[in-house]
Structure 1
């Protein structure tokens, strides 16, 4: 069950990478304009990130098993529609539906894991989950370049998804929902706010952090969160219990997942440009070069899952951030191809450990009936981290269109500094209020 859910999550992550790499071919075949091209890349992330909290709440109310199956079924159907698209309107609709299905499936799947395992088993299960998710970005490049054309990156989801649906229906036991309502007003507020913030962060990479295109949607999103906070404090059945968001292990977990995702995305974003523009790699060779990073992430996540019960969240997070910082600094200091791959693989190892620490901290402080919402919150901050990571490093490496070793070194040094700052913050994080065991 754990591996099936992990593979389903990997499929959702891969779909982000493959579409980004496939955009030039899609543009030529479908005649996409600049705006349509941008929306093809971003609408999946916007819908995915914006609706995950609602998907998590649905898992708590209705039961996570049925939400997993419904979300995966919608994702598979939308993938088929995307592969058959003959124009931009159909493609954009299919991408939005993919995001809707992913937003339902991802937090519900993590909720199943959180409710099916406990103690040391939960820590190891989170290691497997994080390992598969972390490997998805690298595998996406290989999936694309090994296939016969861009529709294939969508069609491959169909047989894999149908097989997963059948197996999950047989092997995931029904888990009761808590009942109640979904709070449509609260869901609309948090969805709009999240989509606005993600859109603003993505825009920062193109227009800069102080541009109107960045500041207006981010400000609107922050206002939406203020209204959402007022809503959940006054609603009879709020989308999220405000008390959960005040727990220190929950806040720590959200912060760690944000930083870890930003660092991981930075590695792939910068590495793609360095390998292809400075070292002349093809997309296929770039994908192969990222495999050590994927394996490093898998190894780091797996080991962290085994160490978490004995060492605690703080120790695993600090160690992971230190290792990531060292790997990024090595990549920044010596941008030879060999050192770059080794350094980023080391960074991937550290980031994989931080992924597990983030989930371990979160689930040490939530009850089973809150697991869906907690998963949705964790996944939402995952999307925030991805958007912020790309925007930040592309802003630092402002000369990315006229590449040089110095330009890319600045991006890696910046990412290393973020890892070091997060490490210091984790060390200074107060222990009081943390749950025993994994949150120690």
Structure 2
């Protein structure tokens, strides 16, 4: 039940992407605002994830799991009935809040329900596997639902899962609490507000330019809010993010690495879903099926990556995965208006799919390997939030660069498919640039850690 709930949370990140063209048409989204269908969810999820974990420790993890499921299910129901772009964005943000409450509570309940050793490792393996499969299944399920029933059903499908979890939780789960003493609402508000200002500033650069007063004001507000967040956390007796964790080299590097990994992935995934349907001519289902080889490659790479890390260490896997990811994105950037799937798109998807989990697995392990056991939960929350927040920022950068390029090419008299293909190329090059930065971070700063099997199982699940 816990793993199924997490499966639903992960599924909702990917299932929406193949529905984006249909949502854009029905609700009148602009090219700039469409990314908020994804970003509203990821920002609320990532920005409030640590607060959700803290709330579970204080108020009871089973209680927060049920509350999060209820909120997620209610928002999903409202999403299916959304009649405007503004309503859908608001609903997606509420879904993100629900996910931020239920996800850390579910993982904490899993670790206290199963004793350390073989039983917990099996449970963590199931958790991690379902989360991985959820990303792959999401694009296919989304395609089936959009083509057969309408985009509304990508939201309605969550409702029975949420209801089942709410009914089953009191029967099968015992209540548990942590040792936290306060919520730290101030830290959560400052962090989330700063990140929203930063992402919105990047998005507005397409309309008003990087040097405009509006964009500079948003970036200034982001800097002030995030600086205030660091100050508050440094003085809090029970901080949301213990700043002492960043003195651990493995964790500090992993936060950057996973944020950059999320940035390149969500940016690539967003514009690829649009490209397949608007340029390549796929239906929603065909687009979903065309993503499957990337998902299969990612699942296989995650399994092999866990073994590779135990043999060669985290640094080798991190560098190898980053390099492979760069190659995959560069291959995708070569797909033009008349690209063939098998020759021009599939190789890039598969190569990128092979690289992404290597970076993730290596850095999830490095992040918690040298952290004291009592801080492992906080460390896991920090790196999960980093991936989500980095994904939101990367999506803003990639989508904005792509949209700007489309407008420029259309102004020269090019056809719509040619302009969209040119925008796709620009977006992929920006995503590749982000992956190159990740490779450089790994080459300069990544520690060399060789973990045991138990640590690998715990890190991959978290």
Task: Give TM-score, length-normalised by structure 1.
Answer: 0.83
- In structure 2, the partner of 1:400 is 406
Larger CA deviation: 387-396 vs 100-109: 387-396
Q: Cα distance 1:164–1:345, how it changes in 2: closer, same or farther (>3 A)?
A: farther
5+ unaligned residues in a row in structure 1: which ranges?
Answer: none
Give the corresponding residue for 1:66: 63
The separation in 2 between residues aligned to 1:291 and 1:243, in whole angstroms, is 41
- Residue aligning to 1:13: 13
Partner of residue 158, structure 1? 159
Cα distance in 2, alignment partners of residues 234 and 169 from structure 1:
38
- 1:233 corresponds to: 234
The answer for the alignment partner of 2:198 in structure 1 is 197
Q: Aligned partners of 1:279, 1:422: CA distance in 2, in Å?
A: 30
Deviations 1:340-371 (A, max 9, x none): 12212220221122222232222324455544
Q: Offset at 1:426?
A: 0.8
Partner of 2:385: 380
Pick aligned residue for 2:94 from 94, 97, 109? 97
CA distance in 1, matches of 2:266, 2:392: 9
Q: Report if aligned partners of 1:108, 1:372 keep a CA contact under 8 Å in 2.
A: no
| Match runs of 1:301-380 below 5 Å | 301-333=302-334, 335=336, 336-337=339-340, 338=342, 339-367=344-372, 369-380=374-385
Q: Is the 8 A contact 2:20 2:34 kept in 1?
A: no
C-alpha contact (below 8 Å) 2:234/2:243 kept by paired residues: yes
- Aligned 8 A contact 2:248 2:371 in 1: no
Q: Counterparts in 2 of 1:397-436, with a 5 A limit?
A: 397=402, 398-401=404-407, 402=410, 403-404=418-419, 407-429=423-445, 431=447
1:289 & 1:384 partners in 2: Cα distance? 27
Could you tell me how far apart the structure 2 residues matched to 1:436 and 1:241 are? 24
- Bigger drift between 311-320 and 34-43 goes to 34-43
CA-to-partner distance for each residue in 1:17-49, whole Å, 9 max, x for gaps? Answer: 366444235416xxx899997866654344333
Change (3 A) 1:45 1:329: closer
Matches of 1:304 and 1:415 in 2, distance apart?
Answer: 22
Give the distance between the partners of 1:133 and 1:361, measured in 2 at CA.
Answer: 24
Distance 2:437 2:39 in 1: 29
Deviation at 1:300, TM superposition (A): 1.9
Which residue is 2:413 aligned to? none
Query: How many residues of Structure 1 are paired with residues of Structure 2 in the alignment?
Result: 436
Give the drift of 1:216: 2.6
Could you state the TM-score of these two structures normalised by the residue count of structure 2?
A: 0.80
Name the SS of the counterpart of 2:406 in structure 1.
Answer: coil
Q: Structure 2 stretches of 5 or more lacking a match?
A: 411-417, 457-462
Distance in 2, matches of 1:117 and 1:304, equals 26
Aligned-pair distance for 1:328?
1.9
Secondary structure of 1:399's partner? helix
Cα RMSD for the two superposed structures = 3.6
Tell me if 1:55 matches 2:71. Answer: no
